Amino acid sequence: MEATTIKKRERLPQLDIYRALAILGVLHVHATSFATVDAVDSRFYFIINFINIFFKYGTPSFIFLSSFVLFYNYYDRPLNRSLITNFYKRRLLYILLPYVLISIGYFFVRLYQNGVLSGPLDWSVLLPDFWDRLTTGKNYTHLYFVFISLQFYILFPVFLMLFKSSKFLVRWAVPIGFLLQWGFIIWNKFDLQYANKGSLAISYMAYYLLGAYLAIHYDKFKAWLTSGWKKQTSRQKIGTIVLWAGWLAMGISHVMLWYNVRLYSAKYDSLWYEFFWNMHTVFSAIVLMQLTNWLFNSGWKKITGLLARIGELSFAIYLVHPLWLAYYRLHDFNLNPVTDDYLIWVYGGMITALLVSALVVQTVMKYVPGAWVLLGSIPRSLKPKVPGDSKGQPKRDVTSGDSKKSVDL
């Protein structure tokens, strides 16, 4: 049978910890977004800016991980009609459907915030506006990421076919990713000037192809990524030092770039913003992979168990957390942004966004039938305890450790 030719891949349950670290990055950035403007005169502004910029690894890391999981699961499987059909079916059900439904919800949230719902609705204007925002990921500030992911899902079978047919493309995948991404950045800067380039998949191609390359060659990098410092060879230790030093250097440079811009109105060429963001977040994607494995092997069961649960819920948390932040910011208690209490209130937004979002989505997933339609795939631990597959959602792939918990996000 054809299935016997499939290479059995090791399960990677630790990837849920990676997802947790990535969603924590997203929450830190979103929780501090307003404060970077309002609290410029605060004596804690360096901390606020640091949190907002240093944690910008979240979305690029999710893109990297999504690519890694896809190629890890599918690269050694026969590329045929059945595989492609099942692939698109799962993305249609678990990603596209929640994206459309959650976009509708956030569209009305925006109408409410802008006071439009208080009067008659002109659907001849609203429907085209909704469609334009849906097709650019702009129905709310965070939905661009899901829109980008959908673009990558459309492209994935093409990349899979190309990589399976050409060792040359696999060998040069990382440089090709950077060339495509930076070629577009430069083209857009000097000629195209497309305003919503951050909603286009090509703006993240370096992360996507880096994830693909690491997945295809995971066996070669596994020992380095999973071994603790004391167990690493001299060569591996050099690689770890270079990785973490590069990450800190690029991250701090990225932070200081924006600190000077925001506080002192410094001016830089736009390519410097792109460069430091790109380098900082590319290093972050690999650092998180190594850190994830170290945590997974640390023996800290309570911490890793908590992180794993956050990771299982990360896609749903990503979808709903802006609702809590919007509500939370309505209750600022008239705090002066220059006071010490303001910093506590800002970080409280991050903590409560995580806690409230996680509690709500976990409860809904566990007790509301069909919750996957709105929140995406349901973790196995939250499915009804019945023999066999639950009837609440379609069957899932079982090719890797994360596959029973999420769909590549």
Six token digits for residue 15: 């990837």
| DSSP 8-state secondary structure symbol assigned to residue 117 | G
From CA 68, how far away is CA 213, in angstroms rounded?
A: 8
Q: Is 192 exposed, middle or buried (0-12, 13-18, 19+ CB in 10 A)?
A: exposed
Q: How far apart are CA 374 and CA 380, in angstroms?
A: 17
Q: Identify the pLDDT of residue 380.
A: 84
Q: Measured between alpha carbons, how far is 279 from 274 in angstroms, rounded to an integer?
A: 9
Query: For 400, which DSSP code?
Result: S
pLDDT of res. 391:
46
Q: Walk along the chain (409 residues) and give the pLDDT tens digit of each residue.
A: 344 455 677 889 999 999 999 999 999 999 999 999 999 999 999 999 999 999 999 999 999 999 999 999 999 988 888 888 888 988 888 999 999 999 999 999 999 998 888 888 889 999 999 999 999 899 998 999 999 999 999 999 999 999 999 999 999 999 999 999 999 999 999 999 998 899 999 999 999 999 999 999 999 999 999 999 999 999 999 999 999 999 999 999 999 999 999 999 999 999 999 999 999 999 999 999 999 999 999 989 999 999 999 999 999 999 999 999 999 999 888 899 999 899 999 999 999 999 999 999 999 999 999 999 999 998 888 876 655 554 444 444 433 333 444 455 5
3-state secondary structure of 282: helix
Task: Note the pTM of the prediction, 2 decimals.
Answer: 0.90
CB 107 within 8 A of CB 130: yes
Specify if 283 maps to a domain: yes
- Rounded to whole angstroms, the Cα distance separating 361 from 368 reads 10
Residues with Cβ within 8 Å of 209's Cβ and at least 6 positions away in sequence, in order, are 67, 159, 173, 174, 176, 177, 180
Any domain includes 395: no
Is 392 within the bounds of a domain? no
389 in a structural domain: no
**102 belongs to a structural domain:** yes
Cα–Cα distance, 297 to 224 (Å, whole number): 13
Q: How many helices (H) and strands (E) does the chain have?
A: 18, 0
pLDDT of residue 385: 66
Task: Tell me which residue range forms the domain holding 259.
Answer: 2-382
- Give the pLDDT score at 40: 94
Helix (H, G, I), strand (E, B) or coil at 9: coil
- Give the pLDDT confidence score for residue 409 in this predicted structure: 56
The tokens 């899902």 sit on which residue? 153
For the chain, the maximum distance between any two Cα atoms, rounded to a whole number of angstroms, is 70
Two structure tokens written together for 236: 């591996």
> What's the rounded Cα separation, in Å, for the pair 334 and 332?
5
Tell me, yes or no, whether 387 lies in a domain.
Answer: no
Number of domains in the chain: 1
Distance CA 59, CA 75 (A): 24
**Distance, CA of 145 to CA of 69 (rounded, Å):** 17
pLDDT value, residue 408 = 53
In a domain, 94, yes or no: yes
CA–CA gap between residue 172 and residue 388 (Å, rounded): 43
| Full DSSP string of 178-206 | HHHHHHHHHHIIIII--TTGGGSGGGGHH
Residue 179: what pLDDT? 98
DSSP state of 3: G
Q: Where are the alpha helices (DSSP H) in 368-395?
A: 372-375
> What is the rounded distance in angstroms from the CA atom of residue 259 to the CA atom of residue 273?
12
Residue owning tokens 């009837």: 391
Is position 46 within any domain?
A: yes
Distance CA 9, CA 399 (A): 7
